[in-house]
Chain A
């Protein structure tokens, strides 16, 4: 379970960043007091246009970034007070994540199993199960640098899931992937849900959201502008497509923010 309560993230800007963003402000708010809750066995989708604050939110949940204010609990563990314990409960995967080109899938997965403190027999068993499920055995000795994008993505999944996390965080997991590779990810999200894991993923592809999602939140310019179950979202905007609904929510929020 993930519980996000009134969380904000502010970045201090240096001279270079002020110049790039064409602003005189000394800081920017990437996320403004957002709150939501993700339940085990359900898929929570975080939607929003580019730069809305989705990645920042997921990174705070994953303990990579510290919230400026507010509180995040993962499996009843505070991300600021118990970051190591939180990390042992989460798996993190992004579409842009790469691997170590000079290592083989086996070496990479073993490395992450050791960093998660798994004992040898347990990690071997889990690795064998994941490799069999995803068909990695046939290229497990090959180096990553010699692999296709699809093969690499399978290894990325195995690496993220080796420690059997209770919570899985996907940050735009299908971004830049071909249809077949993207489908592997969608299958993985389904499996995680069926295994009772808490799943949160960010996306701006509405067809994926429609396929997978149980609950959703929409973020625009750092503000949480919509939050409900997927069923309620569908019925609220039954007269238009999901993409149009998403655009409408974001535009309405933008108008209110500007007003």
Chain B
């Protein structure tokens, strides 16, 4: 135990002085959520505002005067003399935003109380164009509809026979679980893995590359204790990276200004003490599992470069189950509860939603502990092979 603690303390001190590890394991995860939440919301708002106020260049073909009058000249520039072919070419060339064409018999059909054909050409890649023009067409259509109701002496209820009122009784947490519950574990699982990766490369392969392993193997301590001290340090850094992601989220919710109220409420509900404790209990064995498995893989590598080429493909194996958890309809059941990583992601989703079944949570936890023990055993098996460590 004394040896494990000695190795752990030394490796932790060494790791905390490594800027690259600090950046990957502490700074990046802590900043990610605030940057994502604040930065993206500000960026989106700024883009939307800009696009909303942008003066659109619109060409009209055979448009009735009352429709033309709906287009505010401050927000729309009407480009005259453009036919369908020219319009399509100019939209593709980005010199025109949209072309709206009214059918030749449009007025006649409207007057006969029939529907008139209106065509609109635009590029969906130019955001807001479709929405802004559709709003105007809808408003114009509403005017026609109102005048028909008056002319035909109908009431509005007569043309809207069903008054559908929807009540979403899903608790707020469940709605949030559905929306962000899958995304959250995706982020902290990746950071936990990355947090383990850099110290593992440094503490295992680095000993070989620097030529310090020989001296370490001539101290009267067991290889298992030396390895365990290293694995625990690696796991702690990985765990810190995952926790920093959560702390970043808490900080963003508490301190960032101008967050939409529903997002703020949702996030405040997520980051409660119960959520953090339940998550923490899963993160510990998961971090040890990552630390053990990465250590086992990099023991035979003779250089950082070789170790990176061994571990990088593994990161895809971690990402895949985390991505699967994002898919709708994938839930924690008696099959998924045994699939590593996927079970953590799905359990997190259900913890957020408040729908986790205690038995499922216990099975996830036990399976993670078993995996952690197996991975440490595997890394020890590799570390004890004399051909591997020298």
One of B210, B386, B390 near A98 (C-beta < 8 A): B210
User: Which B210-234 residues sit within 8 Å CB-CB of chain A?
Assistant: 210-212, 214-222
Chain A positions within 8 Å of B306 at CB level: none
Beta-carbon contact of B218 and A90 below 8 Å: yes
Given A88-B220, A115-B219, A116-B219, the answer on whether A100 and B14 have CB atoms closer than 8 Å is yes
Query: Which residue of B is nearest A63, CB measured?
Result: B218
Kindly provide the distance from the CB of A57 to the nearest chain B CB, expressed in whole angstroms.
14
Compute how far the CA of A130 lies from the CA of B245 in the bound complex, rounded to whole angstroms. Answer: 46
Contacts of A98 in B (CB 8 A): 210-212
Interface residue? A87 (CB, 8 A): yes
Chain A, Cβ-Cβ closest to B389: A64
Beta-carbon contact of B221 and A115 below 8 Å: yes
Residues 1-19 of chain B: 1 if any A CB is under 8 Å from the residue's CB, otherwise 0? 0110011001001100110
| A54 CB–B CB distance under 8 Å | no
Residues A102 and B6 in contact, CB atoms below 8 Å apart: no
- With a cutoff of 8 Å between Cβ atoms, the chain B residues found around residue A107 in the complex are 10, 13
Across the interface, which residues of A come within 8 angstroms of B210, CB to CB?
98-101
- CA–CA, A65 to B390, complex, Å? 9
CA distance A116 to B10 in the complex (A): 14
- The yes or no answer to B257 lying at the interface (CB within 8 A) is no
Query: Complex Cα distance A102/B220, Å?
Result: 24
Residue A142, interface by CB 8 Å: no
Residues of B close to A97: CB separation below 8 A? 211-212, 214-215
Q: Is the CB of B387 within 8 A of A111?
A: no
Residues facing A in B180-237 (CB within 8 A) are 210-212, 214-222
Q: Once the chains bind, are A64 and B390 in contact (CB under 8 Å)?
A: yes
Pairwise interchain contact B218-A87, C-beta atoms closer than 8 A: yes
> In the complex, are the beta carbons of A87 and B220 less than 8 A apart?
yes
**Is there contact, CB below 8 Å, between A64 and B219?**
no
Query: Would you call A115 and B6 a contact (CB within 8 A)?
Result: yes
A-facing residues in B233-289 (Cβ within 8 Å): none
Chain B's closest residue to A12 (CB) is: B387
Q: Is there a chain B Cβ closer than 8 Å to A96's Cβ?
A: yes
**In terms of DSSP, what is the predominant structure of the interface of chain B?**
helix
A99 and B14 CA atoms in complex are apart in Å by 12
Given A103-B13, A111-B6, is A64 in contact with B221 using a C-beta cutoff of 8 Å?
no
Cα distance, A114 to B10, chains bound together (Å): 11
A73-94: contact bitstring with B at CB < 8 Å (1 yes, 0 no)? 0000000000011011010111
Decide if B220 touches A99 in the complex (CB within 8 Å): no
Interface centre among A64, A96, A115, A116 (most CB of B within 10 A): A115
- CB pair B6 A114 closer than 8 Å: yes
A159 CB–B CB distance under 8 Å: yes
**Chain A residues, CB < 8 A from B13:** 103, 107
Closest to A110 in B: B10
Cβ-neighbour of B218 out of A64, A66, A102 (below 8 A): A64
Neighbouring B residues of A114 by C-beta, 8 Å: 2, 6
A160 at the interface (CB under 8 A from B): yes
Q: Which one of B7, B214, B216, B386 lies within 8 Å of A94 (CB-CB)?
A: B214
* Measured CA separation A98–B216 after assembly (Å): 11
Given contacts A103-B14, A107-B13, contact A159 B215 (CB under 8 A): yes
Closest to A171 in B: B214
- Interface residue ranges of B336-390 to A (CB < 8 Å): 386-387, 390
- Whether B211 pairs with A96 at a CB distance below 8 angstroms is yes
Q: In the assembly, what is the distance between CA of A103 and CA of B2, in Å? A: 20
Q: Is the CB of A92 within 8 A of B214?
A: yes
Whether the pair A84, B220 counts as a contact (CB closer than 8 A) is yes
Complex: how many Å from CA A63 to CA B17?
A: 32
Contact indicator A115/B14 (Cβ below 8 Å): no
The answer to the question of A139 belonging to the interface, with a C-beta cut-off of 8 Å to chain B, is no
Interface membership of chain A positions 130-144, coded 1 if the CB is closer than 8 angstroms to chain B and 0 otherwise: 000000000000010
Given contacts A101-B210, A114-B6, A115-B219, 11 further A-B contacts (CB under 8 A): A64-B217, A64-B218, A92-B218, A96-B211, A97-B215, A98-B212, A100-B210, A102-B18, A103-B14, A115-B6, A117-B2
Contacts from B to A (Cβ < 8 Å): 2-3, 6-7, 10, 13-14, 17-18, 210-212, 214-222, 386-387, 390
Which residues of A are interface residues toward B (Cβ below 8 A)? 11, 59, 62-66, 84-85, 87-88, 90, 92-94, 96-103, 107, 111-112, 114-117, 143, 159-160
Q: List the 7 closest pairs (A to B, CB-CB), nearest first.
A: A115-B219, A102-B17, A88-B220, A87-B220, A92-B218, A84-B220, A114-B6
A-B contact pairs, 28 of them (CB 8 A): A59-B390, A62-B214, A62-B218, A64-B218, A65-B386, A65-B390, A84-B222, A85-B220, A87-B219, A92-B214, A92-B218, A93-B215, A94-B214, A96-B211, A97-B212, A97-B215, A100-B210, A102-B18, A103-B10, A107-B10, A111-B6, A112-B215, A115-B7, A115-B216, A115-B219, A115-B221, A116-B220, A159-B215
